[in-house]
Amino acid sequence: MRHVPTIAIGLVWLGLMATLVHREHAARGQDASALPEIATRAASDRDAVDWFGVYQNERKIGYARRAERRTEKGWVLEDESRLALAMLGEPQTITTTLYAETDADYALRRFRFALVSPATTFAASGESDGMTLEVRYGAEGRTERLALPLDEPVHLASSLRPRLAAAWPEAGARFTHRVLSPTTLRYEPVRVLVEGRETVDGVETLRIAEETQGLASRAWIDRSGRAVREEGALGFVLRREAAEVAKSGIADGARVDLASVARVPFDGTIADPRGLGRLALRVSGDAADHVPDAPPRQHVTGDVVRITRESATPSRAGAEDDLDRYRKPSPFVESDDPGLVARAQAIVGLTTSPRDKVQRILDWVSAHVEREPSLTIPSARDVLRTRRGDCNEHAVLVAALVRAVGVPARVVAGVAYAGDGFYYHAWNEVWLDGWVSADAVFQQLPVDATHVKLLEGGPERHVQLAQVIGRLAFTRVEGGT
C-alpha cells in the first residue's frame, strides 16, 4: 500500500483560517488605509447571498455559499462549502461551515468554524472582547484553548474588498494589510495588486491579485466588492452561479484525487526507496529555491539537493539554543494531556535511553494507528483516541508522545518517494545529541534518503507548502550520490 500525505485539505482549511481575521497594516508605499473608510456594502439595505460552483481544471467538484446580512449591532457572515474529493482513490466528501458576527465596522466579535470529513469533525470557535481573541479548537467536543492578545480590533477579510470596489483604483495600485492566523499566532502581510478591469459574465469587475505566505490567488470583484470569480493554486476556481446551477453537475464519479494532483513530477524510478542511503536530485520549477539546505542530512548546491541518511546515534552536532520549546505542548501537539502522558509512559516503561524511548514510541504508533487516508486537521490527542489516519496523524502523535517522555521532538514536512513519484509527506525529527529523522508510517529511525525536507513545524505551518505545490519537479542525478 502506498502511504502518502493528506496535507492538501489541511492547506485549504489553514488558508481559510489565515484569512478569517485580519487587521490593516501601515506598510511602506500605499497601504489599505488609503482606501475609502466604508463599513457597509453598496447594497447595505439588502441581504447578500452568493453561490459558487467549485472547479478543478474545469471539472466541477463542489459548491460554496456566502451570505451577509445586517443586524442591529453589525453584520452576520456565513460561508459554507461542499467538496467531492478523493485521496488515493478513496471518496472523501468534505463540508465546511463558517459563521461570524461583527460590529458595524466589521470588527470581529465571534466566529464558529467546522470541517466535517469521513474521518472526523474538526471545529474552531472564537470570541473577541477587543483586547483578546479567545479561540477553542479540536475534534468532536475535545477542545484546546488559545488566547491571542490584540492591540487593535480584528476585522474579517471581507472588509477590504468593498473598500477596493468603492475606490475602483487604476491598474498597478498596490495595497498591504496583515492577516492574523489563529493557528500560527502571527500577523502575516497580505499584498494586493490591482491588475485591471474586466467584464466577466456580463459584470464589470476589478481584477486583483492577492498573496500571503506564498499563497497566490486572483479574484474578480464587482462594484459592491463581491467576488464574481476566484482562482487559486492547482487549477481550483470558484465561479459565481445561480444556486441551482452551483449545486448541480458535480462530477462525483470522477473525483479529484488530491494526492495525485499534488504529486511532484519525477524523471526516473527508485527501485528500493526505503533502503536508500544516498540520493542526489536536480530540482527545477518556480519553487526550486524553496528546498532548504539542512545539514548534516540535506545539502543544497546550486540546483542539486543531496540527501544522506544520518546515523541513528549521531555524535553531538552542536548545541541547540532552544530545545526546551520542543519538549513543550504546541497547537495540535498536546503533549501535556494526561491521557497522552500516561500512554507515553506505558509505552516506554522503565527505558531510560532517549533513543530506545523514541524507537518504542515509533513501533507503538506504527502498530496501533491504522493507516488510512484522512482529510482533516490532526490533533495528537484525537489521534490517540481514534487511532487512525495518514502521515499527519502519525507525525503529530509521535511528536506529542516523544515530548511527553522528555525527549525534544518536532514535526517536519516535505516530500517522499512512494511507488511512482514524490508525494507530500509529514514525519518527525527527534533530538538524540543531534536532530535525527523518524517516520512512524514507514517505521524508520532515521528515514531513507528519498525524504526531502521542505519545512519544520506542525499543521499550523503546513499552509506554507502551498508555495511549492505544483511548482517543483525532480530529476535523479546519476552518479551524484
pLDDT higher than 50, residue 12: no
> Given this model, what pLDDT does residue 398 score?
97
Half-sphere exposure of 323 (CA within 13 A, CB side): 14
Reduced to 3 states (helix: H, G, I; strand: E, B; else coil), residue 339 is: helix
462 neighbors 275 (Cβ within 8 angstroms): no
Instruction: Mark whether 88 and 69 lie in a shared domain.
Output: yes
Distance, in Å, from the CA atom of 299 to the CA atom of 183, rounded to the nearest integer, reads 30
Distance, in Å, from the CA atom of 274 to the CA atom of 269, rounded to the nearest integer, reads 13
Distance, in Å, from the CA atom of 68 to the CA atom of 373, rounded to the nearest integer, reads 35
Distance, in Å, from the CA atom of 173 to the CA atom of 149, rounded to the nearest integer, reads 32
Distance, in Å, from the CA atom of 401 to the CA atom of 425, rounded to the nearest integer, reads 20
- Angstrom distances, CA of residue 50 to CA of 61, 223, 228, 243: 18, 14, 9, 8
What is the average pLDDT score of the chain? Answer: 81
Distance, in Å, from the CA atom of 327 to the CA atom of 101, rounded to the nearest integer, reads 37
- Angstrom distances, CA of residue 432 to CA of 38, 313, 344, 456: 56, 7, 18, 17
> Given this model, what pLDDT does residue 24 score?
37
Q: Is residue 2 part of a domain?
A: no
Instruction: Mark whether 323 and 241 lie in a shared domain.
Output: no
Q: Is residue 259 part of a domain?
A: no
Instruction: Mark whether 272 and 237 lie in a shared domain.
Output: no
Instruction: Mark whether 168 and 278 lie in a shared domain.
Output: no
pTM over 0.85: no
User: Lowest-pLDDT range, 24-38, 136-150, 316-330?
Assistant: 24-38
Half-sphere exposure of 200 (CA within 13 A, CB side): 20
DSSP string covering 19-73: HHEEEE---SSS-GGGS----S-TTTTS-EEEEEEEEETTEEEEEEEEEEEE-SS
Q: Give Cβ neighbours of residue 155 (< 8 Å, ≥ 6 apart).
A: 21, 22, 23, 24, 102, 105, 106, 107, 108
pLDDT higher than 70, residue 447: yes
Instruction: Mark whether 215 and 141 lie in a shared domain.
Output: yes
Q: Which of 254, 272, 292 is the last residue of a domain?
A: 254
pLDDT higher than 80, residue 296: yes
pLDDT higher than 80, residue 126: yes
Quick one: pLDDT band at residue 91, thresholds 50, 70, 90?
A: confident
Q: Show the domain range for 225.
A: 7-254
Task: Decide the pairing of beta strands 256-257 and 435-438.
Answer: unpaired
Cell numbers for 211:
498573496
Q: Terminal CA-to-CA distance of the chain, rounded, Å? A: 28
Instruction: Mark whether 230 and 115 lie in a shared domain.
Output: yes
Quick one: pLDDT band at residue 45, thresholds 50, 70, 90?
A: very low
Q: Which of 236, 254, 272 is the last residue of a domain?
A: 254
**Alpha carbon 341 to its chain's center:** 27
Residue 172 burial by Cβ neighbours in a 10 Å radius (0-12, 13-18, 19+): exposed
The residues that bridge with 283 in the sheet, in sequence order, are 474
Q: Is residue 285 part of a domain?
A: yes
User: Lowest-pLDDT range, 207-211, 242-246, 339-343, 387-391?
Assistant: 387-391
Count of domains for the chain = 2
Question: What value does the mean pLDDT take over residues 57-70?
Answer: 88
343 neighbors 361 (Cβ within 8 angstroms): no
Instruction: Mark whether 236 and 332 lie in a shared domain.
Output: no
Q: Is residue 442 part of a domain?
A: yes
Q: Is residue 154 part of a domain?
A: yes
> Given this model, what pLDDT does residue 411 score?
94
Instruction: Mark whether 354 and 409 lie in a shared domain.
Output: yes
Residue 328 burial by Cβ neighbours in a 10 Å radius (0-12, 13-18, 19+): exposed
Greater confidence (276 vs 104) lies with 276
- The pLDDT tens digits for 383-439 are 898 888 888 889 999 999 999 999 999 999 999 998 778 988 899 999 998 999 999
Distance, in Å, from the CA atom of 112 to the CA atom of 135, rounded to the nearest integer, reads 10
Amino acid identity at 153: P
Q: Is residue 1 part of a domain?
A: no
The enclosing domain of 368 has a CATH number of: 3.10.620.30
